[in-house]
Amino acid sequence: MASPSMDEVRITHDALDVNDAFVRATLPSTGATSIFVGTTRDNFDGKIVLKLEYEAYEPMAVKQLNILCSEVREKWPEVSKIIIEHRLGEVKVTEASVIIAISAPHRKDSLEAVDFCIDRLKEKVPIWKKEKYADGGEAWKENKECCWKGDKNKE
């Protein structure tokens, strides 16, 4: 049965490992593990992006990720494990900045929960990213959806 100990939330400067998240999420009692991986893309609005750099207000980010796990469990009580990992610091093109892995006995719950989780993470969790361009420039990017929007650019 689902319980808070089935939630694993982590913010780290280490590289993220998709297989590790899959293995930790998948239990003998589950038949479906859905995974979303956000990776650094090499372009934004026609500019060549070399890498992204992430910063978080860590205590609040971890708190919000735990709230997010509770929301998932309320909406999808059949969900088994929830793993949410976000990387901070530099993340090169094709590398993972965020992994969400959610398992359940049946696929519908795990698919819907992952979909909800990444939308909600973008909206609620105070993590910012700086794009570093091939031309030497850089720019802070907020999540368009984020309720924390604007804080970073006011600095």
Please give the residue ranges that form the binding site for its own copies (CB under 8 A). 17-19, 22, 26-43, 93-94, 105, 107, 110-111, 114-115, 118
Q: Give yes or no for a contact between 131 and 141, defined as CB atoms under 8 angstroms apart.
A: yes
The least CB distance from residue 74 to its own copies, in Å, is: 21
With respect to its own copies, which residue has the nearer C-beta, 64 or 110? 110
User: CA 1, 62, 23 angle in degrees (round to 5)?
Assistant: 45
Q: Identify the helix (H) or strand (E) that includes residue 119.
A: helix 107-124
The least CB distance from residue 36 to its own copies, in Å, is: 5
With respect to its own copies, which residue has the nearer C-beta, 92 or 152? 92
Q: Give yes or no for a contact between 35 and 106, defined as CB atoms under 8 angstroms apart.
A: no
The least CB distance from residue 42 to its own copies, in Å, is: 4
The least CB distance from residue 155 to its own copies, in Å, is: 25
With respect to its own copies, which residue has the nearer C-beta, 69 or 102? 102
With respect to its own copies, which residue has the nearer C-beta, 108 or 149? 108
The least CB distance from residue 111 to its own copies, in Å, is: 5
Question: What SS3 class is residue 154?
Answer: helix
With respect to its own copies, which residue has the nearer C-beta, 51 or 63? 51
- What string of DSSP letters covers 4-42? GGGEEEEEESSPP-HHHHHHHH--TT-SEEEEEEEEB-S
| Rounded alpha-carbon distances, angstroms, from residue 94 to 33, 43, 65, 91 | 22, 12, 24, 8
Determine the residue type at 129. Answer: K
